[in-house]
């Protein structure tokens, strides 16, 4: 029966999409305001920027779309002052499905390369989309790494006091990733107001640069309109050992931009096809750690997922593109 057909989730850097793709599931991260987060227990709910957002997970893409039709911008959220009065736009969804949208593909972010199964999935999807008449362009946006570092500095701007207090109230120790970021020092320093404002400016400068780059894509495709969505990894790993998920350059960039993203499974690790490239030069220590952690025999049969990122509040577009990608894989016998 596959268990529950649907689940609610929250995320601030990928906590909806990452577990979904590791478990062969579909997920969506929605832009702030289209789903209410009022009353949700979160250590980051009062941040002026980069708050926790709500997401959805399902083993069925059509059911995920059904739930979005029912809940996005629903009037039941009117008590939430952050609510966006933007109900599901069926016409927008149908418009994308009625034409040949343009995709971009981010093969790597120049800091950490995806592991071999993800590289195969991205190459295969690019070839399959082009074979069926879709235009696919290369995506080389402003650097993810520095922008995501800004996001995490904003989250911990109070010296991580709120995060540490919430963990302490649970009576449980922090997971190693949080311990590394927020517990290494006994009392991490609070940022001053001017330092926090500088981070906010850095974030807005990055958003402006990314927006300009997105609009400029109309100059490199046949339709002479900006691309509709970006296909890219959710994380660089197809699976990980406990406490070894440390790089969020692919997932958290969506949160920093407050874009929407649909994560979807596309294939499975194949130990015969997805061999490590022992000849390649590692980009840096972080890239080396992720590449050397990959073992095709250990990870054989694990699900491989990607995400389709669209601009802010374009959930209808992202879901329509996910339909197209899923259908392309079905026709090629990959998506199971």
pTM of the model: 0.91
Diameter over CA atoms, the chain: 58
Instruction: Check: CB of residue 274 under 8 Å from CB of residue 298.
Output: no
Q: Give the bridge partners for 306, in sequence order.
A: 233, 264
- The single-letter DSSP state of residue 56 is E
DSSP structural state of residue 92? H
In a domain, 259, yes or no: yes
The enclosing domain of 103 has a CATH number of: 3.90.1300.10
Identify the pLDDT of residue 336: 40
User: Which tokens in the block code for residue 214?
Assistant: 């997105």
CA distances from 320 to 61, 196, 300 (A): 10, 37, 30
What residues make up the domain containing 259? 7-140+223-331
Per DSSP bridges, beta strands 229-233 and 103-105 are parallel
Residue 298: what pLDDT? 94
Closest CA to 104 of 257, 268, 215: 215
Burial 275-311 (b: 16+ CB within 10 A, else e): eeeeeeeebeebbeebbebbebeebeeebbbbbbbbb
Instruction: Answer yes or no: is 199 within a domain.
Output: no
Average the pLDDT over 172-200 and give the result.
76
- Burial of residue 169 (CB within 10 Å: 0-12, 13-18, 19+) is exposed
- β-pairing, 26-29 with 260-268? antiparallel
Position 17 confidence tier, pLDDT thresholds 50, 70, 90: very high
Confirm whether 17 is domain-assigned: yes
Per-residue pLDDT, 251: 94
Residue 198 lies in a domain: no
Render pLDDT for 44-90 as a digit per residue (tens, 0 to 9).
555 666 667 889 999 999 999 999 999 998 877 788 887 888 999 99
In a domain, 175, yes or no: no
Nearest to 230, CA basis, from 142, 291, 145: 142
Query: How high is the pLDDT of residue 221?
Result: 78
| pLDDT tier for residue 181 given thresholds of 50, 70 and 90 | low
121 inside domain: yes
Number of domains making up the chain? 1
Give the per-residue pLDDT at 135. Answer: 94
Q: 154-158, 184-188, 228-232, 298-302: lowest mean pLDDT where?
A: 184-188
Domain membership flag for residue 170: no
Position 157 scores a pLDDT of 79
Instruction: Region of 313 please: left (phi>0), alpha (psi -120 to 50) or beta.
Output: left
* Domain contains 297: yes
């Amino acid at each position: 029966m596959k268990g529950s057909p649907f689940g609610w989730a929250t995320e601030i850097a990928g906590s909806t999409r990452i577990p979904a793709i590791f478990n062969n599931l579909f997920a969506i991260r929605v832009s702030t305001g289209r789903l209410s987060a009022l009353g949700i227990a979160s250590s980051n709910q009062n941040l002026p920027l980069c708050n926790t957002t709500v997401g959805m997970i399902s083993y069925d893409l059509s059911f995920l779309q059904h739930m979005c039709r029912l809940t996005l911008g629903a009037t039941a959220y009117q008590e939430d002052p952050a609510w966006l009065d933007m109900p599901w736009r069926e016409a927008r969804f149908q418009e994308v499905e009625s034409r040949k949208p343009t995709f971009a593909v981010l093969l790597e972010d120049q800091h950490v390369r995806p592991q071999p199964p993800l590289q195969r999935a991205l190459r295969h999807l690019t070839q399959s989309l082009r074979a069926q008449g879709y235009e696919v362009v290369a995506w080389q946006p402003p650097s993810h790494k520095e922008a995501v570092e800004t996001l995490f500095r904003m989250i911990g701007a109070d010296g991580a006091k709120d995060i540490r207090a919430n963990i302490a109230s649970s009576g449980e120790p922090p997971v190693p990733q949080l311990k590394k970021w927020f517990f290494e020092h006994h009392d991490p320093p609070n940022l001053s107001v001017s330092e926090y404002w500088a981070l906010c400016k850095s974030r807005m400068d990055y958003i402006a640069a990314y927006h300009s780059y997105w609009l400029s894509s109309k100059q490199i495709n046949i339709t002479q309109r900006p691309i509709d969505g970006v296909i890219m990894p959710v994380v660089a790993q197809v699976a990980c050992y406990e406490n070894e998920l440390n790089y969020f350059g692919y997932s958290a960039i969506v949160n920093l931009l407050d874009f929407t993203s649909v994560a979807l499974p596309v294939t499975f690790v194949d130990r015969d096809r997805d061999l490590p490239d022992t000849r390649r030069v590692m980009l840096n220590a972080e890239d080396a750690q992720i590449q050397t952690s990959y073992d095709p025999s250990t990870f054989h049969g694990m699900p491989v997922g990607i995400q389709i990122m669209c601009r802010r509040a374009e959930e209808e577009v992202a879901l329509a593109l996910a339909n197209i990608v899923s259908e392309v894989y079905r026709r090629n016998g990959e998506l199971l």
